[in-house]
Amino acid sequence: MEDDGGEGSSFIVSIIENRAKEVGLAAFDLSSYQNTKTLLHFYDPIVIIVPPNKYSSTSTVTELVDRYYGSVKKAVLSRGCFDDTKGAILIKNLASKDPSALGLDTYYKQYYLCLAAAAAALKWTEAEKGIVVTNHSLSVTFNGSFDHMNIDATSVQNLEIIDPFHSALLGTSNKKRSLFHMLKTTKTIGGTRLLRANLLQPLKDIKTINARLDCLDELMNNEQLFFALCQVLRKFPKETGN
């Protein structure tokens, strides 16, 4: 089946009804890679690094990248560059936090693919950009889906969270209609990225949400602190786009 956007469905649905007219339905998603699409949208990369066998005509991930990020540069590195053991060593040496604080030893098996990808990303960055990361200077976080909601890429588009649905037809002047551009009163590049991140992956951790609300209350009730922070933020790199 085709949806309105022309994208083929990847769901298998099983349905059964009993004599009491109760219905059971199970849906299995074969290959939509919704989390992958959400994260690619989340990071909005300038380069996507892939191993050669994952960048073949038979790879579903390849189809996903080509369909949604065809304009993004692809860098193909050998599979040997995607080494989770090397990635773990690099992260342990480069991370500013102690590895135990990151939970690296505990979650190594869970994050082994992330570590493999990290090894390739660091190698490409050093080789192509000439950036060498010194020990204990890299901010590292392992972001799973446990504390954040996942909004699939189709919903991001249909709900006009980042860009208006018809921006391609109506031009860039229509961007103010998206939720992101309506809320974007940020003063720094970092603030804009954080707003984008919070819209694409909203928090669901109550403790963190309450901590942020407490900070907001403090700023609302302390004008001197609020305006002092505004002055400090003016010293940070500013947005150059709309």
Alpha-carbon distances of 189 from 134, 234, 240, rounded to whole Å: 24, 11, 9
Nearest to 32 by CA among 145, 153, 143, 114: 153
Tokens read off for 13: 């649905």
The answer to whether residues 40 and 66 touch, using CB atoms and an 8 Å cutoff, is no
pLDDT at 220: 92
Angle at alpha carbon of residue 64, lines to 85 and 14, rounded to 5°:
100
For residue 9, tell me if it sits in a domain. Answer: no
**Domain hosting residue 173, numbered range:** 153-233
For residue 22, tell me if it sits in a domain. Answer: no
pLDDT tens string, the chain, 242 residues long: the values are 344 444 455 555 656 666 776 665 655 554 456 667 767 776 778 888 888 854 455 566 667 777 777 888 888 888 888 888 888 898 889 888 887 776 666 666 767 888 888 888 988 988 888 888 889 888 887 765 567 777 777 788 788 888 887 655 445 555 457 888 888 888 887 788 788 878 887 888 888 899 999 999 999 999 999 999 988 888 877 665 54
Tally of domains within the chain:
2
pLDDT at 173: 53
Q: Is the domain of 96 the same as that of 183?
A: no
Nearest to 197 by CA among 138, 151, 136: 151
pLDDT at 214: 94
